[in-house]
Structure 1
């Protein structure tokens, strides 16, 4: 045991150095020394060892006002590459990056919308084309992570809860993609990836338990307990679109008050109807919310009715989980901002005992693709450097069925 201790210490120090360089970018020897706490000679030896192994490379010089310029060191991005994809019914948003997270190429490809086997082949061709622009083939990728609507059943790899994604149901989805790409592929629910991204770089960086509600054309949710995603026995945890709830809105939009699918209350088409009932015509839910906020007190009744619907949807989850935080995501949640969140919190507190705060998510852009990229990088860094994700659950994706 003692004979192996120096080697073990070297491995620990090497990983600490790699992790520091990945988090902060290129650094000088003295900067790295201060972070990992080694002596000057030990840090120099460490860098020499990592350079010989190909793990780090010299990355230019940093000039100072006085004295010689200092050598910069960086992780060798060419050691591994990953791809991340946000898959929707109409397109695939694809990004390829090296192991440092540097983006090499990104592209949004249109997909056929009629369903059938052609859509899977078109998707594979699109990924190959984008990966090819980076000078790679899918087989050379260390990890491919696909964010998809619905949920993949870990028992058989079949995609469920996604009738709006024709052509992707009835077969082992991750297994089929692995065959097409000859590379490691994992498929994760798109809203789960948004939650992972919020843990990595958003409002949930220091939160152990939270619920994220996605409000857009449709709805979805993710539940995180002890910084681990709750996926459920069939992968369908968080698929609250199908949950039946009453409509507590005061305005009548023809919704059955005794119980209806939550997706029929909070999807964009029905939110547009609710806005029109309050005299706010709009083409989609997030436009209606922005109009209501801009109109001040005149828009408050619509926002309050919308908040009642949202609170009704998350009340059961909050009662069971008692999370630290509820996050509103998606175009509608982002449009509502803090004001809509305050209204939702007030309505939620009338329905449940926990006084859970409600807040909008912080991550902007395409959080599904960003979450997929963070997850792919976590997989690649574990394979190449032995690092485990410190900001969220290490991403495993959907395993190949037995």
Structure 2
């Protein structure tokens, strides 16, 4: 048992840090020099690790480097958008082997499975592999995924992907395990792996862009909820606290949070303050450049709106940090995050800091890759990663796996959930 624990610890370090010398690994896992040497010999004989060249520099002999054998498994990750899919293929050590952006149909009646399969096959071909070589595939999509049914919802922008068990159908037709996850959840996975939340146990994320989304991480695991709706604050009803008339009539029950902070609503709010911009992020960037009294009032009103939605997450979860992500958040930067924090602290007891997510590039695809790697590494090495998204298949023992539960999902809105 102790030997297995030490082996897993060594694998975890090598996966996290990359190639290391025996001395570096010895320090990292706290074993003696002979014990570490025996461990490496044993793992090499099992085919789990191999030599990776030498580390030069300094006087004396160069030190042998060791790394995890990446060819033990391969994974794929996909960022699914209304017009295309961004594919990446990697080995179990995390080495990217191929990338591909391919057009994908999303209209109702399209051959979703066939076209997706063709694109995935081409991506694996570019990596020198075939579909059966893949251990698993993780897809990130703009929408809510119900693990009980395998259905996507709140995704009218990709109607062809609605109304069927997406992971089960793709898995059966392609012959490889496929899972699908909300895009903001995957951004949260990437952020807690290599971003500002890497050292945190609990945090919340709010996506402000063309649409709105959210994610909550508790104990370094995503809070998915019984129906996959954990963190989906888009539908939440909140009052509108702005100081100007935006020309909209708000129902007595309050407005949908997504209707207040999605890009079109932010642009309308800016116009009410005399700032004309095509998108929410353009409006925020314009206000920051101008620095006028009107611009300041607009940013403060928007911060009040955002804080009104974030407050519910903070009041229930009391996270260590709230991270804002998406184009509108990036346009606002840390200055806007500070405004949100100020207004948030007027609404809730915890003094939770608010910041901007740090992960750049395609964070959805990167998070999908982290999830796919976590699953493969658990299967191959027995390394249990805390970022795993939940059950591998619907009904896999997660809370809410009882399919007989009533479907309480709201009627899909015409605005997409990011």
| TM norm structure 1 | 0.92
Q: What per-residue deviation string (whole Å, max 9, x for no partner) do you get for residues 339-388 of structure 1? A: 11111112222233333221111111111111111111111111111101
Instruction: Give the match for residue 357 of structure 1.
Output: 353
What RMSD, in angstroms, separates the aligned Cα atoms of the two structures? 1.9
Contact 2:374 2:387 in 1 (8 A): no
Does residue 295 in structure 1 map to residue 283 in structure 2? Answer: no
- CA change 1:21–1:283 in 2 (3 A) is same
For structure 1, which segment, 257-266 or 96-105, has the greater mean C-alpha deviation from structure 2 after superposition?
257-266
Does residue 85 in structure 1 map to residue 81 in structure 2? Answer: no
Contact 1:62 1:69 in 2 (8 A): yes
Does residue 269 in structure 1 map to residue 261 in structure 2? Answer: no
- CA change 1:70–1:148 in 2 (3 A) is same
- The CA distance in 2 between the partners of 1:186 and 1:308, in whole Å, is 36
- The CA distance in 2 between the partners of 1:24 and 1:357, in whole Å, is 29
- CA change 1:18–1:208 in 2 (3 A) is closer
Does residue 395 in structure 1 map to residue 389 in structure 2? Answer: yes
- CA change 1:94–1:13 in 2 (3 A) is same
Please list every run of at least 4 consecutive aligned residues from structure 1 whose deviation after the TM superposition is greater than 6 angstroms: none
Partner of 1:142: helix, strand, or coil? strand
Give the Å deviation of 1:186. Answer: 1.4
- The CA distance in 1 between the partners of 2:391 and 2:99, in whole Å, is 22
Q: For residues 149-298 of structure 1, what are the structure 2 equivalents within 5 Å?
A: 149-258=142-251, 259-298=254-293
- CA change 1:34–1:177 in 2 (3 A) is same
Contact 2:221 2:389 in 1 (8 A): no
- CA change 1:36–1:246 in 2 (3 A) is closer
Give the Å deviation of 1:95. Answer: 0.8
Does residue 94 in structure 1 map to residue 90 in structure 2? Answer: no
- The CA distance in 2 between the partners of 1:326 and 1:374, in whole Å, is 21
Uncovered stretches (5+) of structure 1, i.e. residues with no partner:
1-7
Instruction: Give the match for residue 336 of structure 1.
Output: 332
- CA change 1:69–1:178 in 2 (3 A) is same
- The CA distance in 1 between the partners of 2:61 and 2:345, in whole Å, is 62
- The CA distance in 2 between the partners of 1:183 and 1:100, in whole Å, is 19
For structure 1, which segment, 65-74 or 324-333, has the greater mean C-alpha deviation from structure 2 after superposition?
65-74
Uncovered stretches (5+) of structure 2, i.e. residues with no partner:
396-402, 404-418
Give the Å deviation of 1:398. Answer: 5.4
Instruction: Give the match for residue 323 of structure 1.
Output: 319
| Total equivalences in the alignment | 393
Contact 1:142 1:380 in 2 (8 A): yes
| TM norm structure 2 | 0.89
Contact 1:84 1:146 in 2 (8 A): yes
Instruction: Give the match for residue 4 of structure 1.
Output: none
